[in-house]
Amino acid sequence: MNQFNPSFGELPYCILGREQVIENIKLAFENNLNDPYRTVLFSGARGIGKTVLLEKIVEISLEYGFVSVNITAGNTMIKDLFDQLFERTQHLLYEQKKIKSVSIKNFNVEFFGDDQTLGLRTRLERVLVKLNELGVGLLITIDEIYKAAHGLGEIVIAYQHYKREGRNVALMLAGLPKNVSDILSDSEETKNYTFLRRAERVVLKDIDIEEVAQLYYETFNAEKKSLTKENADFMAEITKGYPFMVQLVGYYVWRKTGDKVEKAEMLAGIEEAKERLGVLVFSASLNDISGKDTEFLLAMANFETPVATADIMKAMGVSQGYIQQYRIRLLETELIYSPTYGKLDFSIPYFKEFLLQKQ
């Protein structure tokens, strides 16, 4: 069975580079209602592992006596929240005994009744009070957040009140850097999100290459697929530590090899991984930005990187103010970064090559 999973949002068997974050959240679930890691705002580029980390946190929360509601930001958030909540708490609310650990697979008893004429805060509090009486906490995870998501502000405000009341709750949110930045901005449009400015911030970054190489070496050899240390190191270098590429390379090299990882098969797997990276990450990333943003990236791709902002300005034939506007926007998306003053580079491996192929 292939030990790597390059599907977005599905939990791989091993998560690298997030051990300290996971440990902090475990301690928050176990020890203290006021622990800062009860409320966490994750941000990072597409494919950096935000959704996977949320799934891991959900898995961990069950060990500490939580039920979880796991939704994606959008127009049906509140409906999705209560649909999941009622499905996953029926059995707990029907039982009269305290429960130390929970499993979301076994809730099948009719719920006690819900008054949909009430507001979100009151409806949710009715369930939360009963859960807390049973010694059970509630974790809410919200993925792909953005400031205009219908119902997000209501959920955040309700959660803020539950925290003040000492309820056993936790809230984990994740989003692209630009969307998180928008939510945390100070404006009339974001007044319902003020509480999140005090949330614990976790910016997800790439994984150490040595950890990736060790993962490949141990995983392939443990499953009787002979992989040399040299080839494991080569595969790891190809990934550049980008979490989604780690899964892609592992997955496609695994698929193409038998009992021994030969060089030709390994290289073929790597090429297929790069192709899938373009389809699944780069194309989607370009859909998230404007045409002018894309023009900036295409101009940038024609230079050796890191490239001076002044060179991009000359290539595009625009003013410094124009360049600064789009530079700031793209830095917020984390598609690019500034390694040194006045210079820019691409954040995601092989993005430059992808852009050059589009020209």
Structure confidence by residue, pLDDT tens digits, 251-262: 999 999 999 999
Same domain assignment for residues 78 and 187: yes
Task: Please give the residue that has the higher pLDDT: either 190 or 118.
Answer: 190
Task: Please give the residue that has the higher pLDDT: either 16 or 195.
Answer: 195
Is 11 domain-assigned?
no
**Which whole-number Å values give the CA distances from 79 to 22, 75, 118, 278, 333, in the listed order?**
29, 9, 13, 34, 29
Tokens at residue 168, please?
């056993």
Mean pLDDT of 228-257: 96
Is 4 domain-assigned?
no
How many other CB atoms sit within 10 Å of the CB of residue 238?
A: 23
Same domain assignment for residues 55 and 104: yes
Please report the pLDDT score of residue 31 as a whole number. 80
Over 50: is that where the pLDDT of 98 sits?
no
CA 101 centroid distance within chain: 26
What letter does residue 111 receive in the DSSP assignment?
P
Please answer whether residues 192 and 157 qualify as being in contact, where contact means their C-beta atoms are separated by less than 8 angstroms: yes
Residue of 179, 182, 159 whose CA lies nearest to 169: 159
**% pLDDT > 70, the chain:** 91
Same domain assignment for residues 122 and 157: yes
Mean pLDDT of 182-206: 92
Same domain assignment for residues 334 and 267: no
Which residues are 43's β-sheet partners?
175, 203
Please report the pLDDT score of residue 90 as a whole number. 76
Mean pLDDT of 81-109: 62
Same domain assignment for residues 93 and 231: no
Please report the pLDDT score of residue 359 as a whole number. 75
Mean pLDDT of 125-139: 90
Is 153 domain-assigned?
yes
Same domain assignment for residues 146 and 170: yes
Is 294 domain-assigned?
yes
How far is residue 147's CA from residue 184's CA, in Å, rounded to a whole number? 9
Which residues are 170's β-sheet partners?
139
Tokens at residue 81, please?
């929240």
The answer to which of 100-104, 246-250, 355-359 has the lowest mean pLDDT is 100-104
- Residue burial 302-327, b: 16+ Cβ < 10 Å; e: rest: eeeebbebebbbeebebeeeebeebb
Same domain assignment for residues 318 and 221: no
Q: State the CATH number of the domain containing residue 59.
A: 3.40.50
How many other CB atoms sit within 10 Å of the CB of residue 104?
A: 15
Same domain assignment for residues 272 and 294: no
Same domain assignment for residues 334 and 240: no
Q: Name the domain boundary from 177, 203, 229.
A: 203
Q: Name the domain boundary from 160, 181, 203.
A: 203
Is 13 domain-assigned?
no
Is 7 domain-assigned?
no
Please report the pLDDT score of residue 108 as a whole number. 35
**Which whole-number Å values give the CA distances from 151 to 75, 79, 81, 183, 192, in the listed order?**
7, 9, 10, 13, 10
Structure confidence by residue, pLDDT tens digits, 145-158: 999 999 999 999 99
Helix, strand and coil content of the chain, in percent to the nearest 5, comes to: 55, 10, 35
Same domain assignment for residues 277 and 328: no
Is 9 domain-assigned?
no
Please report the pLDDT score of residue 210 as a whole number. 96
Over 90: is that where the pLDDT of 13 sits?
no
How far is residue 48's CA from residue 177's CA, in Å, rounded to a whole number? 11
Which residues are 344's β-sheet partners?
307
Task: Taking the CA atoms of 22, 331, 289 and 148 in sequence, report the sign of the dihedral they define.
Answer: positive
Q: State the CATH number of the domain containing residue 343.
A: 1.10.10.10
Q: Name the domain boundary from 285, 306, 327.
A: 285
Please report the pLDDT score of residue 221 as a whole number. 95
3-state secondary structure of 104: coil
Residue 96 exposed, middle or buried by CB count within 10 Å (0-12, 13-18, 19+): exposed
Q: What are the residue ranges of helices labelled H in 1-64? A: 19-31, 50-63
Over 90: is that where the pLDDT of 109 sits?
no
In this prediction the pTM is: 0.83
Going by pLDDT thresholds of 50, 70 and 90, the confidence category of residue 330 is very high
Same domain assignment for residues 134 and 78: yes
Mean pLDDT of 63-74: 95
**Number of domains into which the chain is organized:** 3
Task: Please give the residue that has the higher pLDDT: either 258 or 111.
Answer: 258
Per the structure, the complete domain to which residue 354 belongs is given by: 290-358
DSSP per residue, 307-330: EEHHHHHHHHT--HHHHHHHHHHH
Over 90: is that where the pLDDT of 333 sits?
no
How many other CB atoms sit within 10 Å of the CB of residue 359?
A: 8
Over 80: is that where the pLDDT of 312 sits?
yes
Average pLDDT, the chain: 89
Is 12 domain-assigned?
no
Over 80: is that where the pLDDT of 332 sits?
yes
Same domain assignment for residues 182 and 196: yes
Please answer whether residues 158 and 152 qualify as being in contact, where contact means their C-beta atoms are separated by less than 8 angstroms: no
